[in-house]
Structure 1
Amino acid sequence: MALLAWNVRGMGNRDIVRALKNMCFKHKNDIVFLSETKQKKRYLEKIRMRMKMDNAFYVDPIGMASGLALWWNSEAKVTVLHHDKNFIDTLISINGEDEWFGTFIYAPPYEEEKQEFWERLGTLRNNVNAKWCIMGDTNIVASPSEKYGEASYDHNNAKWYHEFLERSYLMEIQSKGGTYTWSNQRSDEDEIYEKLDRVLSSLEWSFLFPRAIAIIDIHIASDHAPIVLLTNGMMRRVRNEFKFESRWTLEEECSNIVQEEWITSEERQQRGTFRVKLRRTKVKLWKWNREKFGKNRISANDIVNKIKALQDGPTNSEDATSKLSRGVVGR
């Protein structure tokens, strides 16, 4: 099961929609939570249908601020229990399996609202032994190690968060990817990095999903990184199915391969069926593509790794510069 939480900073951006579509395809998300959508239901419904998600629940923005969207596919049974401008609290099960509580949050960024939010969130579960998972934007830097930049670490803001964890018996799920999930997108001495987005769970929930892991993806189009929860851990990759790429049509070799293999299949008279011709042509195109464009594909992977290296640390440090030169990803 895969769940995505992302502070998109507005769904009116085409780059956000494109990045979201790619992530839904990449992770095969069962549930998608978006915060700071800044859009109402009518607009978001059009995007949901493009993402091929079956069901939805929305909290409309206040003016041009905030706004929450929760989408899920038909395999997930999601019942909304409580909601307000900062969270959507649900009961979840997949394919009729064990039920658990899932709370998707966008914690308030304003200091005067933080204490009340964490206290309110703590009242959702009267049973401390509940199977409970929380994910989203906490708007809290939990420790000095989760912050880089001139702005100082605020112990008072973190106090309410840590008290909530203690009262609710929750812990943070291990994450892979970058160290930080938010950046002010400035450079040199003005840059600031923080870890604000995370996944929390109760011990009972972790017993239900002992291999669960959170993936901090790369920043694309938003100042927040998306975070993906994989309840069954990292799965082995399977070979991608064959897909004809439009760029092949620009190469004369492609046309020659198709003509040659089609005629050869006819001459060999191996049933002469459409399926046989198609299979032989597909194999030849696949081999040709690997030889022709293999190096370009590796270069694209290097670019993604370099973006991850930027996400994992400040750009003006010798360590980050070294990572970029090697294409090293974050932890």
Structure 2
Amino acid sequence: MSIFSWNCQGLGRTQDLTIQRLREIRRTYFPEIMFLMETKKCRDILVDLQQWLGYDRVFTVEPRGLSGGLAVFWKNEIKLDFKFADKNLIDMQVQFGEVTFYLSCIYGEPSSEGKNIVWERISRIGVNRREKWCMLGDFNEILNNDEKIGGPMRSEESFKPFGDMLSACGMEELESSGIRFTWAGQRWKKWIQSCLDRAFGNREWLRVFPGSNQKFLAKRGSDHRPVLLMLQASQSKNRGQFRYDKKFLFQPGVKEKIIEAWRGTEGGSDNCCVAKRLRDCRGALSVWKKEKDFNAKDRIHILEDRLEWFQSRNYPCWHAIRVIKKELGRAYKEEELFWQQKSMEKWLKYGDRNSNFFHETVKANREKRKLIKLKDGSGLEHWSEESKALVALDYFKELFKSSDPPSYQPVIQSMRPRVTDSMNQRLLAAVTDKEIRDAVFGIKSSSAPGPDGMSGLFFQQY
């Protein structure tokens, strides 16, 4: 399980790469819970964003004027019980399978006058809370002068209220990776970097989730780095599987690759089995697909690394950052247009009209195919992909297990033959080319592919 936190500094600003960054996070990590600060948008817009990102529920705190605004997105397999919410804090109880814990999403008061009020409210919550508890977000505060670069030195007394709140709640900062100076900006005509965004856990949290850690991601689309909180040291990833789809039909050189793979290398055997030829075709298409995807995304990755390097400097070049952001936004748009042209007809017909048709269709299909949990024979619920696979395997092993009877004769003797001799001769006859062709073209071209990843369209086309 993972939780994402980001001060996005406003949604919908294409020139600042905010929306593109959220889509990239969704595609790469798809965290179970996503917490956004400074949304600066009303609930109606955030509900549209929830559908667009593929989440099932959203909880919002409205902005005040042109600033503020909080949003929590989550999936159906997560159950949230909100205990308190205002413009600085959303406190909730999270249930994920058999695991239950408390989560406080915090947006610290930017002005010094209101900070103590926020810390006092959190301290009152933490006095009687001994269960598993984590807090994360943009605290808008640091613990000492070592957590900032640039700007005037602050007195040690100014750090005390924040430190006292963490001590009262029994909080310790989680292990981290990435650049810890999550915010950078200009103050007093000086370039300053600070550790404002982070995650903390109490003793019970660290006891139950000893491998929990936080990862500071690259800074794009906002002055703040996103924080990805992971409850385990490593998360299992679903391995991708080859699928033949329609986009191969429109690509030059694909047919030649398939013909070359089907015929095999020079000097190869002409008696190569069909399964071997299909594996060769699948391998050739996989190589072709990887090459094309790399070429399409290579420019984006170079620009992202370049932007990260410039923004991490003590004295960044603003002109270079503006140019790179503009080029990166153009590259994102080009990639989006490329895949829109190659996607389903429904998307081309309806998806570009800002309607709910495409979003609802995708959401409904996802809900139909998704297995959130499985119960084993003892009634225990299993949520992770590995444990669900083991439950399914044990179930079907038991279902199809033989009772090993001493003899099958009593069962066979009670059966009356239904296949005549003439029927048996037709069944044993060699399969004709016409029968193979009728079977292949009788398959719906857009139906689900077989175990080899090839759909009916592949056989009908080639």
TM-score by shorter chain over 0.5: yes
Match runs of 1:83-232 below 5 Å? 83-95=85-97, 97-153=98-154, 155-184=156-185, 190-232=190-232
% of aligned pairs identical? 26
Instruction: Go from structure 1 to structure 2 and tell me whether the alpha carbon gap of 1:300 and 1:18 turns closer, same or farther (over 3 Å shift).
Output: closer
Alignment-mate amino acid for residue 206 of structure 1: L
Measured in 2, the distance between the counterparts of 1:257 and 1:230 equals: 42
Structure in which a larger fraction of residues adopt strand: 1
Measured in 2, the distance between the counterparts of 1:243 and 1:155 equals: 59
Measured in 2, the distance between the counterparts of 1:227 and 1:245 equals: 35
How far did 1:304 drift?
Answer: 4.8
Alignment gaps of 5+ in structure 1: 317-331
Identify the residue that residue 286 of structure 1 maps to in structure 2: 286
Structure number, greater radius of gyration: 2
Instruction: Go from structure 1 to structure 2 and tell me whether the alpha carbon gap of 1:38 and 1:217 turns closer, same or farther (over 3 Å shift).
Output: same
Identify the residue that residue 26 of structure 1 maps to in structure 2: 28
How far did 1:26 drift?
Answer: 1.1
- Determine if contact 2:91/2:102 at 8 Å carries over to the other structure: yes
Alignment-mate amino acid for residue 161 of structure 2: W
TM-score (norm 2): 0.60
Structure in which a larger fraction of residues adopt helix: 2
How far did 1:254 drift?
Answer: 3.5
Alignment-mate amino acid for residue 6 of structure 1: W
How far did 1:28 drift?
Answer: 2.4
Instruction: Go from structure 1 to structure 2 and tell me whether the alpha carbon gap of 1:218 and 1:57 turns closer, same or farther (over 3 Å shift).
Output: same
TM-score (norm 1): 0.81
Instruction: Go from structure 1 to structure 2 and tell me whether the alpha carbon gap of 1:191 and 1:28 turns closer, same or farther (over 3 Å shift).
Output: same
Name which of 68, 76, 79 aligns with 2:78: 76
- Determine if contact 2:130/2:204 at 8 Å carries over to the other structure: yes
Measured in 2, the distance between the counterparts of 1:226 and 1:69 equals: 15
Which region of structure 1 is more displaced relative to structure 2, 239-248 or 211-220? 239-248
How far did 1:169 drift?
Answer: 1.1
Which region of structure 1 is more displaced relative to structure 2, 113-122 or 8-17? 8-17
How far did 1:166 drift?
Answer: 1.4
With a CA cutoff of 8 Å and minimum separation of 6, indicate the structure with the bigger relative contact order.
1
Identify the residue that residue 9 of structure 1 maps to in structure 2: 9
Alignment-mate amino acid for residue 99 of structure 1: T
Alignment gaps of 5+ in structure 2: 265-269, 317-462
Query: What SS class does the counterpart of residue 99 from structure 1 fall into?
Result: strand
- Determine if contact 1:179/1:312 at 8 Å carries over to the other structure: no
How far did 1:74 drift?
Answer: 1.1
Alignment-mate amino acid for residue 129 of structure 1: R
- Determine if contact 2:103/2:134 at 8 Å carries over to the other structure: yes
Measured in 2, the distance between the counterparts of 1:141 and 1:243 equals: 49
Measured in 2, the distance between the counterparts of 1:132 and 1:191 equals: 35
Residue correspondences, number: 309
